């Protein structure tokens, strides 16, 4: 009897430790696959080089890092205001009947496969940008709109939850002081939910910077420094997908090294998310 | 006398102006948030509506033939591959995820450093982009373990990818089981393991199920992690060691080539509706669980 209890506890513990094993394996194999190439190219040449011409043995991924940052910034600029305001509406002003429709819609929006988003952007947003703003349509702006749309549910769900977690006394106190409902929400409730909202934004950044298959369909993917919002860009993720099909040897390893850099970005973003979340928990 | 009347009037005026300003501000803010919610709803209706309306007319029975060839891009082989990948993935993620969550909730002492570390790694896993999973799966399962591009390699990769989803939903479900259940079971003389398997896990089933269904939805919609592990062969796989393109991978290929847009539209609808149905089911079960409590 006692023995089986110990055995099962060991089984449960092993299962819980699997996520550690998975993270460790991912780190080891990515580093093993990417670091040699990074060292051969030279970390400075690799990270700060502005030319990506595998044919001439030039592997600089700065254009892609910049591309990822620009596209992500664009997505945040578009997605965060809309997402945050929509979350405020859903948490504070939404009639119950409408909420029953709106909330499942947001959840389903989060579940739509990224390829479907990419396809939608390819057949709807690309022609729209091309016809109304010029350029080929496969551009930084298109990718930003697409990613802004994709991170919308993440930001809404996280922000709504943290707004709802703010104690009602904040809101009622402000009402009692004579402020309007709207003013109370924006001046009393929203500041109290700040760290949760920030955590949602960071989560959105993580999603945007890591998105691959949708972006590759609309970003143009030219491997050069970002030139303007109507010009094509290549991000770190799309760099991997574009070249993986035919890359060999050092070129292939350079792509894995790109993934290592991306992984580094993600780790920093995750850490920030964790810190913000803990701060939010402590407050409430 | 007249002076104070004038003063009062000025005061009233000022007050009226402040009130008017406040009301304007309130209306503006209310308008802004309503607009944002409207945009969100419009996005959902736009993406789903457009895809369905454009795609539905292109669905025909030939798409569900057993053979895939360059003249008839049947989706059936890919659907079967997807099912196999989902099966393998869940075979990995479900037991490991559920048992892991049992340790975190039932065994780990309060404030345990080890449990906090496990949670941190789980969160790290959930933040890793799918392309990184894809490359890792390629380097580890496909090359290092020499499984080649196969259903098995794809299944294992997505299994790791959905592990955090399973762990988190199981944790939530276990935490929602009232302590009185545990105490009653212990009081009747049952051991811890027996309590977990006979009392706690059965009453947490809806929550766990909703997490697992959510994972299925994620696997079905996954592209980047599968392209470099399960491969892109859109034919019927003979065994788990054969390459098999999932529906999403096939769709990405069709849309990317741009040669068979009608097929791409039709595949988009099938993919979208399947994933939406899976997610609706997961949401429905989760809601039912909350109502039962």
Per-residue pLDDT band for A284 (boundaries 50, 70, 90) equals: low
Rounded average pLDDT per 10-residue block, chain B, 293 residues: 75 84 90 95 94 90 78 85 95 96 93 91 92 95 93 96 95 92 93 92 91 93 93 86 91 85 89 91 82 64
Q: Does some domain include residue A33?
A: no
Cross-chain residue pair B128–A213, CB shorter than 8 Å: no
CB A10 within 8 A of CB B119: no
Interface check A261 vs B, CB under 8 A:
no
What's the pLDDT at B62? 77
Mean pLDDT of A197-203: 92
Same domain membership, residue B154 and residue B25: no
Pick from B103, B217, B268: which is nearest to A116 by CB? B268
Cross-chain residue pair B252–A213, CB shorter than 8 Å: yes
Average pLDDT value for chain A:
91
Cross-chain residue pair B139–A94, CB shorter than 8 Å: no
What's the pLDDT at A39? 92
Q: Looking at the 3D structure of chain B, how many domains does it have?
A: 2
Same domain membership, residue B114 and residue B188: yes
Q: What is the DSSP letter of A220?
A: B
Same domain membership, residue B41 and residue B173: no
Pick from A5, A11, A244: which is nearest to B228 by CB? A244
Contacts of B64 (CB under 8 A, 6+ apart): B74, B75, B76
Same domain membership, residue B209 and residue B268: yes
Asked which of B20, B41, B58 is the last residue of a domain, the reply is B58
Asked which of B43, B58, B73 is the last residue of a domain, the reply is B58
Same domain membership, residue B66 and residue B54: no
Look at residue A283 and tell me whether its pLDDT is greater than 70.
no
What's the pLDDT at B162? 96
What's the pLDDT at B226? 94
Domain that holds residue B13: 2-58
Pick from B46, B100, B131: which is nearest to A237 by CB? B131
Same domain membership, residue B21 and residue B102: no
Interface check A187 vs B, CB under 8 A:
no
Using a CB-CB distance cutoff of 8 angstroms, which residues of chain B are in contact with residue A213? Answer: 223-224, 227, 252
Same domain membership, residue B259 and residue B217: yes
Same domain membership, residue B44 and residue B176: no
Cross-chain residue pair A16–B103, CB shorter than 8 Å: yes
Q: Does some domain include residue A178?
A: yes
Same domain membership, residue B157 and residue B16: no
CB B86 within 8 A of CB B220: yes
Name the token pair of A16.
């819980």
Q: Does some domain include residue A107?
A: yes
Q: pTM value?
A: 0.91
Pick from A82, A105, A259: which is nearest to B132 by CB? A259
Q: Does some domain include residue A35?
A: no
Interface check A50 vs B, CB under 8 A:
no
Mean pLDDT of A134-140: 88
What's the pLDDT at B129? 94
d(CA B153, CA B230): 6
Q: What CATH number is attached to the domain comprising B266? A: 1.10.3720.10
Q: What CATH number is attached to the domain comprising A165? A: 1.10.3720.10
Q: Does some domain include residue A36?
A: no
Name the token pair of A106.
């947001």
What's the pLDDT at A134? 81
Cross-chain residue pair A29–B124, CB shorter than 8 Å: no
A-interface mutation test, from B94, B114, B193, B284, most A Cβ less than 10 A away? B193
Q: Looking at the 3D structure of chain A, how many domains does it have?
A: 1
Same domain membership, residue B43 and residue B139: no
Name the token pair of A195.
């760290």
Task: Report the percent of chain A where pLDDT is more than 70.
Answer: 98
What's the pLDDT at A282? 66
Chain A residue nearest residue B138, CA to CA: A29
Domain that holds residue A257: 48-283
Sequential DSSP letters for B184-245 = HHHHTT--HHHHIIIIIHHHHHHHHHHHHHHHHHHHHT--HHHHTTT-S--SPPSSTTS---
């Amino acid at each position: 009897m006692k023995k089986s209890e110990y055995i099962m506890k060991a089984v449960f513990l092993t299962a819980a430790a699997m996520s550690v094993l998975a993270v460790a394996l991912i780190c080891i194999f990515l580093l093993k696959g990417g670091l040699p190439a990074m060292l051969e190219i030279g970390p400075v040449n690799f990270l700060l080089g502005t030319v990506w011409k595998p044919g001439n043995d030039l592997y600089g991924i700065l254009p892609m890092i910049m591309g990822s940052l620009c596209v992500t910034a664009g997505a945040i600029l578009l997605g965060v205001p809309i997402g945050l305001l929509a979350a405020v509406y859903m948490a504070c002003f939404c009639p119950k009947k409408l909420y029953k429709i709106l909330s499942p819609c947001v959840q389903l929006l989060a579940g739509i496969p990224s390829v479907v988003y990419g396809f939608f952007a390819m057949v709807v947003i690309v022609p729209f940008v091309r016809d109304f703003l010029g350029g080929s349509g496969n551009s930084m702006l298109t990718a930003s709109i697409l990613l802004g749309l994709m991170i919308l549910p993440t930001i809404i769900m996280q922000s709504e939850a943290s707004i709802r977690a703010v104690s009602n006394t904040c809101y009622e106190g402000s009402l009692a002081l004579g402020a309007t409902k709207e003013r109370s929400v924006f001046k009393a409730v929203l500041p109290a939910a700040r760290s949760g909202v920030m955590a949602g934004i960071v989560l959105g950044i993580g999603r945007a910077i890591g998105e691959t298959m949708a972006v590759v369909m609309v970003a143009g993917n030219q491997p050069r420094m970002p030139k303007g919002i109507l010009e094509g860009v290549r991000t770190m993720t799309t760099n991997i997908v574009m070249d993986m099909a035919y890359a060999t040897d050092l070129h292939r390893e350079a792509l894995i090294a790109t993934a290592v850099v991306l992984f580094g970005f993600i780790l920093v973003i995750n850490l920030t998310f964790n810190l913000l979340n803990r701060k939010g928990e402590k407050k409430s | 006398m007249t002076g104070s009347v004038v003063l009062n009037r000025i005061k009233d005026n000022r007050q009226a102006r402040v009130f008017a300003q406040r009301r304007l501000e309130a209306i503006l803010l209310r308008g802004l948030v309503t607009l944002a919610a409207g945009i969100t709803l419009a996005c959902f209706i736009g993406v789903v509506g457009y895809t369905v309306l454009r795609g539905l007319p292109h669905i025909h029975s030939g798409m569900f033939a057993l053979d895939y060839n360059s003249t008839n891009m049947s989706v059936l082989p890919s659907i079967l591959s997807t099912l196999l990948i989902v099966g393998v993935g869940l075979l990995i993620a479900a037991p490991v995820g559920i048992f892991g969550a049992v340790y975190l909730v039932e065994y780990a002492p309060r404030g345990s450093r080890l449990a906090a570390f496990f949670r941190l790694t789980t969160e790290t896993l959930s933040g890793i982009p799918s392309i990184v999973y894809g490359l890792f799966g390629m380097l580890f399962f496909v090359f290092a373990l020499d499984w080649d591009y196969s259903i098995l390699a794809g299944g294992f990769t997505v299994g790791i990818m959905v592990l955090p989803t399973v762990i988190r939903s199981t944790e939530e479900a276990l935490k929602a089981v009232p302590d009185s259940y545990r105490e009653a079971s212990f009081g009747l003389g049952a051991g811890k393991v027996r309590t977990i398997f006979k009392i706690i896990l059965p009453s947490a089933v809806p929550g766990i199920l909703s997490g697992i269904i959510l994972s299925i939805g994620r696997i079905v919609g996954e592209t980047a992690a599968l392209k470099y592990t399960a491969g892109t062969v859109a034919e019927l796989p003979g065994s788990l060691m054969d390459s098999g393109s999932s529906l999403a991978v096939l769709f990405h290929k069709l849309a990317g080539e741009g040669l068979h847009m009608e097929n791409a539209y039709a595949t988009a609808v099938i993919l979208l509706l399947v994933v939406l149905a899976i997610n609706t089911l997961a949401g429905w079960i989760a809601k039912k669980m909350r109502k039962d409590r």
